[in-house]
Amino acid sequence: MACHLDVLLSAFRSGRTIYIPGATGESRALATALRDQPEVSAGVRFVSGLVPGMNETLDYGGLAPDCTVTTFMLPACMRDSFAQGRVTLLPRTYWGAARYLQAIACDVAVAHVAPPNADGLCSLGVASDFTPLVWPNAMFKVLLINPAMPILPRARMLSIADADLVVTLEGPLVEAPVARETETAAAIARTVAALIPDGAHIQTGIGSAPDRVWTFLRDHRGLVLRSGMANGGLRELAEAGALADGGAHLAGIAYGSVDFYNWLQDTDLVEFATTLETHGLPALIDTPRLHSINSALEVDLFGQVNVEWQGNALSSGVGGGPDFMRAATFSPGGRSIIALPATAERGMVSRIVARLARPSVSVARSDIDTVVTEHGVAELRDKGIDERAQALITVAAPQFRAELEEEWRALRATFG
């Protein structure tokens, strides 16, 4: 294995563009090898779909002074490299990221896969999102076989025959941390679940409230997963009988525990597809009763959403949520939901603000139907600006409502 790993690392040469999988497709073993031999990354341009919270093992931009990273979201571990100008953060949604990656020609593409089957095909396991899009146009293709990767029956597959190099490198998979239970997240999730009809197609993003929603959907029936991510809550719904029999459950990645990954392997419940398929707007808009459930850092009284900025610090990227949010507003019977706590910093800061003061808006006001906090539901669809503002003030924390009312009056007076 050491010899093969050396051969792999010898492909990391200055001036080359190298794709490495992100999200749950990241190879922790490869990340360790690069950390141990950072000199091989000198002058390399990494391209990846790295995700905050999932890919915090290694700052790829910090491996060498002259290596760079092009990605679409910003893990916390890479903020120093970003500040130093070594990270190019492309402001694309996931569908846009997929189209970008499909078009580029990398010098080297690394695919993190399960061991091959009898036909020489390797399952991409828990992450079919971006790798199959990059693979066809790469000049040098590397299959990184990890015996720990589950063979998910309907994940995308790559053939050993197409690889220029095959390396076996066992290592731990990316797993979701155990969720921290809070009364606030439970209250929000319970309210969101009450808005979901039987037979809905459901997408959830990252965040305590969206993640918690699954627990309160167990009494529903006929639900279908239509998301970028399948997480551990899906198993709760399957075992409670809440999912549609024979439903076309579709996701790009799995994100949970190893037990959950093994359960997906045994049940063959979900098809795992590329991001072009999971996040493509035309297909999503045609999906009936599509309900997108995503979190946010702030929402202003116009309904504009911030998912990227913590204070003046850029802490993330646009992500895949906006693709589903926009589609859900057009889906027959669909709904785009933002679920967030009303406050931050132990109640000292309101997440409902009069106007976003950040350098960019992450999600347009036209892509949001409903905002849910622990204080209730703000229905925004087909409401004028004044009605929207009042609805959002109503779900703000009580101690901030009077201030928000005054700020809105002052702001409204400037409209002419």
| Whether residue 297 sits in one domain with residue 402 | yes
Q: pLDDT by residue (tens digit) across 37-49? A: 999 999 999 999 9
Mean pLDDT for 52-60 is 95
Confidence label for 1 from pLDDT (cuts 50, 70 and 90): very low
Percent of the chain with pLDDT over 70: 99
The answer as to whether 407 is a domain residue is yes
What is the spatial distance between Cα 18 and Cα 67, in angstroms, rounded to a whole number? Answer: 11
Strand locations in 36-86 (E): 45-47, 68-71
Confidence label for 3 from pLDDT (cuts 50, 70 and 90): low
Q: pLDDT by residue (tens digit) across 19-29? A: 999 999 999 99
| Whether residue 303 sits in one domain with residue 162 | no
The answer as to whether 174 is a domain residue is no
Task: Please identify, among 142, 168, 194, the residue that sits at the C-terminal boundary of a domain.
Answer: 168
Task: Give every CB contact of residue 339 below 8 A, 6+ residues apart in sequence.
Answer: 188, 189, 192, 207, 209, 210, 213, 293, 294, 295, 371, 372, 373
Least confident of 190-204, 216-230, 304-318, 328-342: 304-318
Tokens of 394: 């109503």
Q: What does the pLDDT read at residue 223? A: 97
What is the spatial distance between Cα 399 and Cα 151, in angstroms, rounded to a whole number? Answer: 52
Q: What does the pLDDT read at residue 207? A: 79
C-alpha closest to that of 99 among 49, 139, 163, 154: 49
| Whether residue 57 sits in one domain with residue 158 | yes
Q: pLDDT by residue (tens digit) across 68-82? A: 999 999 999 999 999
The answer as to whether 173 is a domain residue is no
Task: Please identify, among 168, 201, 232, the residue that sits at the C-terminal boundary of a domain.
Answer: 168
The answer as to whether 177 is a domain residue is no
The answer as to whether 175 is a domain residue is no
Amino acid (1-letter code) at residue 2: A
The answer as to whether 265 is a domain residue is yes
| Whether residue 248 sits in one domain with residue 117 | no
- The mean predicted confidence, pLDDT, of the chain is 94
| Whether residue 111 sits in one domain with residue 230 | no
Q: What is the CATH number of the domain that holds 368?
A: 3.40.1080.20
Four-point Cα dihedral 53, 57, 62, 67, nearest 10: -90
- Is residue 179 scored above 80 in pLDDT? no
| Whether residue 256 sits in one domain with residue 137 | no
Q: pLDDT by residue (tens digit) across 362-387? A: 999 999 999 999 999 999 999 999 99
Q: pLDDT by residue (tens digit) across 72-121? A: 999 999 999 999 999 999 999 999 999 999 999 999 999 999 999 999 99
CA atoms 325, 329, 334, 340: torsion sign: positive
Phi-psi region of 77 (alpha: psi -120 to 50; beta: other; left: phi over 0): alpha
Percent of the chain with pLDDT over 90: 88
Q: pLDDT by residue (tens digit) across 202-261? A: 999 887 888 889 999 999 999 999 999 999 999 999 999 999 988 799 999 999 999 999
Task: Please identify, among 168, 199, 228, the residue that sits at the C-terminal boundary of a domain.
Answer: 168
233 three-class SS: helix
| Whether residue 209 sits in one domain with residue 97 | no
Q: pLDDT by residue (tens digit) across 250-272? A: 999 999 999 999 999 999 999 99
| Whether residue 386 sits in one domain with residue 250 | yes
Q: What is the CATH number of the domain that holds 132?
A: 3.40.1080.10
| Whether residue 224 sits in one domain with residue 148 | no
Taking a C-beta distance cutoff of 8 angstroms, is the pair 336, 378 a contact? Answer: no
For 65, the domain range is 2-168
Mean pLDDT for 147-153 is 96
Q: What does the pLDDT read at residue 124? A: 98
- Is residue 193 scored above 50 in pLDDT? yes
Q: What does the pLDDT read at residue 5? A: 83
- Is residue 390 scored above 80 in pLDDT? yes
| Whether residue 133 sits in one domain with residue 82 | yes
Q: What does the pLDDT read at residue 372? A: 98
C-alpha closest to that of 122 among 67, 160, 92, 75: 160
Strand locations in 58-186 (E): 68-71, 87-89, 108-113, 121-123, 140-145, 157-159, 165-168
Q: What is the pTM of this model?
A: 0.94
| Whether residue 243 sits in one domain with residue 160 | no
Q: How many domains does the chain contain in total? A: 2
Q: What does the pLDDT read at residue 333? A: 97
| Whether residue 6 sits in one domain with residue 95 | yes
What is the spatial distance between Cα 315 and Cα 79, in angstroms, rounded to a whole number? Answer: 8
